[in-house]
Amino acid sequence: MSMKCRFCENETNKFISFGKMPIANAFLYEKQFKDEYFFELAPTYCPNCSLFQLFYQPNPKLLFHENYAFFANTSNYMQKHFKDLSDSLIKNFNLTKQDLIIEIGNNDGGMVRYLNDLKYNCIGVDPSKNVSDYAKDLGVNMINKFFNFELSNEILDKYGKVKCFLSANTLAHIPDINSVFKGVKNLLDDDGIYVTEDPYLIDVFNKVSYDQVYDEHVFIFSLTSISNICKKYDLEVFDIEKLNTAGGSLRYYISKKNKKNKSERVIKQEMIEKEYKLYDYKVYEAFKVNCENSKKNLFDNLSKLSENSKIVSYGATSKTTTIFNYCNINRDLINFITDTTPTKQNKFSPGMHIPIFDYEHFNKNLPDYCFLGAWNHSNEIFLKESDNFSKKGKWITHTPDFKIFSK
């Protein structure tokens, strides 16, 4: 069975199935188990535009709503990352306080939170009401809607052109990618920029981080696929930055066509991607084999360890939903999950129903092993645990290879 690429409408085929999957961020109470929603999680890639995407995606209204579980402010490192980017934009792109800045999907604050504190002219756009209200309470001018072409017309009428668009870990979530870029083109000032970052496909392949694939990540981008999308809307990528955030990301600096010089970094990355052959089925087949080996390795090792030891997952992440469901890891293998997000605590993980407790519970019940569910925040976690869990316990990671280690 095939589907049409969400961007270019070319026929694409799924090359791996991760099986029956619940909504990644739908942490639930026991009474909700019987009504839990499942779908088949299977990615595909478009041989025409190299866009890696989900075969099926549940309706976005099931994912982004008034009880959205993900609050970005749970990571101090990510807060610093967003503040650093907002500082560098002011320094490098001569933004004035009159210029309109819009962040698409700014969650509970984002970058506009910091720019707004400095009295820049900012708007945040986010469809999830609870996180949007949180940002509003911080003083950010919020539009609680999905960003699309229709909304871009409303913004144009009310506020005029946009000097700087921002988004971080947002584009990957929006199935109607054409409508977003049509909206950006509609609103972007002639010398405006769009700075956006998302998990990077080659990092996913190199780290075998198949857990980046879940309902919200309808796309995993590369420079090639983002450039193809830009081209259709008379935009182009003039610079990039490689980032360690979100498990390995690429930040794209986009302008209208022929407005900026293409940097050496873009030219080099284009070469790297060409050599990687992102259009070739063999690349995807190799990823599939790596995922299947990783699954077997993790399940076998956790099964063995759990016979005599207590294992806890550090972080109830959207990624752990894919890992635990794909690898059949239930509470026989993982005793509980600890997470600092209040809206996840005292609930159960989607699908596998592993209980989630707060940090105090973790401290009172230190396990022998911690599985790095929030592996993309490892450095922050190791720092926090250096005088606590790390003194006696061992860490487990599944990426890029299964490893047990002390810190």
In the complex, which residues of this chain contact ligand TMP (CB under 6 A)? 70, 74-75, 315-319, 339-341, 344, 374, 376-377, 380-381, 384
> Would you state the structure tokens that stand for residue 266, as one six-digit string?
């873009």
DSSP category for residue 32: G
Tell me the closest approach of the beta carbon of residue 25 to ligand TMP, in angstroms.
8
Tell me the closest approach of the beta carbon of residue 131 to ligand TMP, in angstroms.
13
CA–CA separation, 279 and 316 (whole Å): 34
Minimum CB distance to ligand TMP smaller for 77 or for 93: 77
> Would you state the structure tokens that stand for residue 127, as one six-digit string?
């469809």
Minimum CB distance to ligand TMP smaller for 121 or for 209: 209
Tell me the closest approach of the beta carbon of residue 376 to ligand TMP, in angstroms.
5
Minimum CB distance to ligand TMP smaller for 55 or for 70: 70
DSSP category for residue 263: P
> Would you state the structure tokens that stand for residue 165, as one six-digit string?
């668009």
Tell me the closest approach of the beta carbon of residue 359 to ligand TMP, in angstroms.
7
Tell me the closest approach of the beta carbon of residue 298 to ligand TMP, in angstroms.
17
Tell me the closest approach of the beta carbon of residue 314 to ligand TMP, in angstroms.
7
Minimum CB distance to ligand TMP smaller for 256 or for 319: 319
> Distance of CA 364 to CAs 42, 342, 374, 387, Å?
39, 18, 20, 15
CA–CA separation, 205 and 212 (whole Å): 10
Tell me the closest approach of the beta carbon of residue 160 to ligand TMP, in angstroms.
34
Minimum CB distance to ligand TMP smaller for 126 or for 339: 339
Minimum CB distance to ligand TMP smaller for 344 or for 394: 344
Q: Where are the beta strands (DSSP E) in 97-214?
A: 100-104, 121-125, 142-143, 162-168, 188-199
* Residues 358 and 333: beta-carbon distance below 8 Å: no
CA–CA separation, 148 and 269 (whole Å): 29
Tell me the closest approach of the beta carbon of residue 390 to ligand TMP, in angstroms.
13
Amino acid, single-letter form, for residue 128: S
Dihedral of the alpha carbons of 230, 231, 232, 235, in degrees to the nearest 10: 60
Minimum CB distance to ligand TMP smaller for 293 or for 386: 386
Nearest CA among 108, 179, 196 for reference residue 144: 108
**Is the dihedral angle over the CA atoms 246, 249, 255, 259 positive or is it negative?**
positive
CA–CA separation, 398 and 407 (whole Å): 16
Tell me the closest approach of the beta carbon of residue 316 to ligand TMP, in angstroms.
6
Tell me the closest approach of the beta carbon of residue 259 to ligand TMP, in angstroms.
34
131-141 in b/e form (b: 16+ CB < 10 A) is: bbebbbebebe
> Would you state the structure tokens that stand for residue 126, as one six-digit string?
């986010």
Minimum CB distance to ligand TMP smaller for 291 or for 312: 312
- 3-state SS class at 205: helix
Q: Are strands 38-40 and 162-168 parallel, antiparallel or unpaired?
A: unpaired
> Would you state the structure tokens that stand for residue 402, as one six-digit string?
């299964």
Minimum CB distance to ligand TMP smaller for 260 or for 384: 384
Minimum CB distance to ligand TMP smaller for 217 or for 256: 217
Q: How many residues does the chain have?
A: 407
> Distance of CA 277 to CAs 301, 313, 394, Å?
33, 36, 38
